[in-house]
Structures are given as structure tokens and as C-alpha cells.
Homo-oligomer: A and B are copies of this chain.
Amino acid sequence: MIDIVNASDYMESVRSIEELVTVYRQLLSNLSDLYFALGRFDRFQKREHEIIDVNYPKEWVSYYTDRKYILEDPTVSQSAQTQTPYLWQEFRDLRPSQRVIFSDLSDFGVQDGYTIPLHAPDGMTFVASFAFRRPVVSAADRLAITALTTQFYFRYKRLLNPPSSRENVLSEREGECLCWAARGKSSWETGVILGITENTVNFHIKNALGKLQSNNRIEGVVRAICLGLISP
């Protein structure tokens, strides 16, 4: 069993992502018969996804890669939409091409799995998947993994985007106006919210669009979100 509070404390103290991953891997090694895979997706970034750490057997990883299973894997596609952890046995209406993945996995001894998707407001989705080579997974193990993994996520996110590092290309007003636009407000509504005229809101948004090299506010809002300048 893992002492979650101690483990979390240990993870809090690390200074780099590499170190964090090492600590996490070591903590999980206390649980037997467990494969894990940590990855992330950045909806608004050029580089669409990144694998953070995996302890699946090499054969499975290359098998998975060769067959391009990532394109069909329901733990990947589901995680974009699912907002809470789920067991793989909860999957319904899988396509045949998706069932194949699980039947292949069972050849590697995997009997069930658990996935934790975590969504950041800047468009990053963090996905942690756990495959169990045992018939029954105790609630205790599942909950320990969840606690450990959310703690990992919080630390990972802080290391990735230090709270201070944020060069504001946009001026305060520009950011505000764009932010309200992203939330569906018209210029007139934003004007009321900010206590300025509709015309002035239009002026600020126009300047923001110039800085973001965007042709209209839709593109500008999407780009500003990409760059982490505003969150919707």
C-alpha cells in the first residue's frame, strides 16, 4: 500500500519534470501487476500530443505504435470528452477496430483498466491510464492511484507553466475585451461590463487582433487561448 500523504509530499518537493516522473514511477512500483501510461494532448498547440512516461513492455509499445492504435484507442478519444476517471469495463458501443485493442491487450495479461483524464483550461488534456494484470482491482488501489495521479498532475502542471512566466503581449484592456468576446459577449455587452462604449471595445479588440495576426475575432480568440493569454 502507498502512504498517499507522504507520497504527495515527496512529489511536491521535486524540482524538475524528470525527477517528478522518476518519483511517480517509483511510487507506483509498490503496486504489483500494473502497467501505466501518462500522456498529454494540447488542443491548441502545434505539437498535438506527448507521451510523458510508460512502463508497458517494449513489445506492446512497438506493437501499439506499429498498428497506429493511438488513432483508435478509446482511452484516448474518450478522454477528450470524459471529465472523470472511468474503468475500461464501462466502455459501451465500441467499434470492432477498438475491441481488437483490448483483446490484444488481454494477450499481454491485461484484464481491466482505469483511466484518469484531467483537463486544463489552456487546452491541455492530461491522460493517465492504468492496465491491471489481475481480475479484480480493489477500490483502495484505484483511489490511491487517483490521489497520487492528481497530485502528480498538479505538480507537473506547475513545473510546465510556472505561475510567473507569462509575458503579456496584450494590454490589460485588450485582454479583457477579448476574454469577454471568447465568452460570447458582443461589443455592446462587453462595453456595459467594462463601463466603456461599444466603440472602444471594438478598438481594443482590433488592436489585439493586430498583435495576434488574426483576421477576425474568432481566429484571434482561438489564438489567444492557444498562447495562454486568455482562458475562456
Decide: B84 and A158 in contact? CB cutoff 8 A.
Answer: yes
**Is A100 interfacial (CB-CB < 8 Å)?**
no
Which 6 pairs show the lowest CB-CB distances between chains A and B? Answer: A184-B219, A80-B228, A147-B147, A8-B143, A119-B121, A150-B150
> Which of A52-60, A101-109, A209-217 lines the interface with chain B?
A209-217
Q: Which of A75-117 contact B (CB under 8 A)?
A: 80-86, 90
User: In the complex, what residue of chain B is closest to A117 when comparing beta carbons?
Assistant: B121
Q: Nearest-CB distance from A93 to chain B (Å)?
A: 11
Chain B contacts of A82 at CB under 8 A?
Answer: 163
Decide: A143 and B183 in contact? CB cutoff 8 A.
Answer: no
Decide: B121 and A166 in contact? CB cutoff 8 A.
Answer: no
Tally chain A residues at the interface, Cβ within 8 Å: 55
Cα A51 to Cα B64 with chains together (Å)? 45
The residue from B123, B146, B158, B227 contacting A225, defined by CB atoms under 8 A apart: B123
**Is A131 interfacial (CB-CB < 8 Å)?**
no
Decide: A184 and B215 in contact? CB cutoff 8 A.
Answer: yes
User: In the complex, what residue of chain B is closest to A2 when comparing beta carbons?
Assistant: B5
23 pairs across A/B with beta carbons < 8 Å? Answer: A5-B139, A5-B140, A5-B144, A8-B147, A9-B143, A12-B143, A44-B225, A81-B166, A81-B231, A83-B122, A84-B155, A119-B119, A121-B125, A123-B225, A143-B151, A181-B218, A182-B222, A184-B218, A217-B218, A218-B221, A222-B222, A222-B232, A225-B225
Decide: B144 and A90 in contact? CB cutoff 8 A.
Answer: no
* A9-B139 contact, Cβ under 8 Å, with A86-B163, A119-B120: yes
Decide: A83 and B214 in contact? CB cutoff 8 A.
Answer: no
Cα A184 to Cα B45 with chains together (Å)? 11
* A218-B80 contact, Cβ under 8 Å, with A5-B140, A147-B150, A232-B226: no
Cα A154 to Cα B83 with chains together (Å)? 8
* A43-B225 contact, Cβ under 8 Å, with A154-B84, A157-B84, A232-B123: yes
Decide: A232 and B43 in contact? CB cutoff 8 A.
Answer: yes
Decide: A151 and B158 in contact? CB cutoff 8 A.
Answer: no
Decide: B186 and A216 in contact? CB cutoff 8 A.
Answer: yes
8 extra interface residue pairs, beta carbon distance < 8 Å, beyond A4-B143, A43-B228, A221-B222:
A5-B140, A12-B143, A83-B121, A84-B157, A86-B163, A123-B232, A184-B218, A184-B222
